[in-house]
Every structure is written in C-alpha cells, then in structure tokens.
Amino acid sequence: MSEFNVTVACWRGRENKAVLELRSYWGKDFVVVKKQPSYLVIRYKGDPFEAVRKLKELVDPRYTTLLKAVPYDYSVPADINEVVKAVEKASQKIPEGESFRVTLEGPLFELKGDEWVELSREEAIRRIAEVVKRPVDLENYKWVVYVKSIPLKGSQFAGVSVHKPEDVFRVKPS
C-alpha cells in the first residue's frame, strides 16, 4: 500500500482544525500520516482523485482552513528510478497527442555506487519527462506530471500524480 495519496495545505497553526474539517467531508476514510506546519500528508482509503473532487464540491472557500489538496497515483521512495517507473505507469492516462508539463517539488536521489546522490532539479525533470511519450508544453499544457518529495518515517518519499490542473482543489485568496 502507498505511504500516502493526498497532501493538503492549510493555514499555519490550523492543522488540527483542518483534520476535523476533512473528517466532516471524508468521515473516517483517511489517516494522517504526517502533520507539519501548514501541511498534512494523508492516506485516503478510497480513490484519492474522488476525495479531492468531493472537496471541490463541498468546501465553501469563505469558511475553510483548507487551501490546496493534491491527489496522487503513487507514493514511492524518492529514488529517481522508482519515480520514473511510477510516472511511466501513471502517464498512460494522458491521451495521445495531449500536452503535459512536469512540476517537481523537493529533492530526488539516485544510488551511485554505495552512496545516495541528490540529482539536480533539471536532471530529475529531464529523466521524468523522457518517459512520458506525449508533447511537452510549459504554457498550454492539458496535464501535469507532479512529483512531490517529502521526508516520511525517516526516509524520503515521492508522491507521483498525473492529473489535469482542475483535479487539484485550490482556494483562491480573496
């Protein structure tokens, strides 16, 4: 089972309130894997994309502590080879001919000899983009290949999400 499949950004200092708010929308269908300032890492028990859609339908942006929620297809160790495999699988949902962009947040690593080396951001993005057999378009993309690397349980993990921009829940600041 994946370590996590949804991340939620919230107002700083309101993490506990955000968990209570999520309970009102999702019931007991999730566990908080990690709580840090302004951020919750969550394992949702059902379809994470459906969970985020539910937030988009139910949350009143005027009265929420939630700011952003991203669903993930996979969470894997933040090893570039594991990330590339997950991206290759998840990117199958991008229809032929539709464009994408890669967004990477956080470090990815590669084992060189017996040492883990952090890849440059450019190298990591290039390696991720290579396996998506669709056109890259940084301006007018239809899909986002989103990779978020976070420390979890003493290791670094990466969430891999291939989604349309509208699949992410966002509260626009008023």
Task: Calculate mean pLDDT across residues 116-135.
Answer: 97
Beta-carbon contacts of residue 96 (< 8 Å; ≥ 6 apart):
134
Q: Cα(146)–Cα(160) distance, rounded to whole angstroms?
A: 6
pLDDT at residue 2 greater than cutoff 80: no
Q: Regarding beta strands 169-170 and 66-71, do their DSSP bridges make them parallel or antiparallel, or are they unpaired? A: antiparallel
pLDDT tens sequence across 47-96 = 999 999 999 999 999 999 999 999 999 999 999 999 999 999 999 999 99
**Secondary structure of the chain in the HEC alphabet?**
CCCCCEEEEECCCCHHHHHHHHHHHHCCCEEEEEEECCEEEEEECCCHHHHHHHHHHHCCHHHCCEEEEEECCEEEECEHHHHHHHHHHHHHHCCCCCCEEEEEECCCEEEECCEEEECCHHHHHHHHHHCCCCCECCCCCCEEEEEEEEEECCEEEEEEEEECHHHCEECCCC
Compute the mean pLDDT over every residue in the chain, rounded to the nearest whole number. 95
Among 109, 6, 112, 4, smallest CA distance to 49 is for 6
The confidence score (pLDDT) of residue 1 equals: 47
Q: What is the pLDDT of residue 153?
A: 84
> pTM for the whole thing?
0.94
Strands in 169-170's sheet, in edge-to-edge order, are 30-36, 39-44, 6-10, 66-71, 169-170
pLDDT per position as a tens digit, 141-159: 999 999 999 999 889 999 9
Residue 84's contacts (CB-CB under 8 Å, 6 or more residues apart) are 127, 128, 130, 131
The pLDDT of residue 174: 59
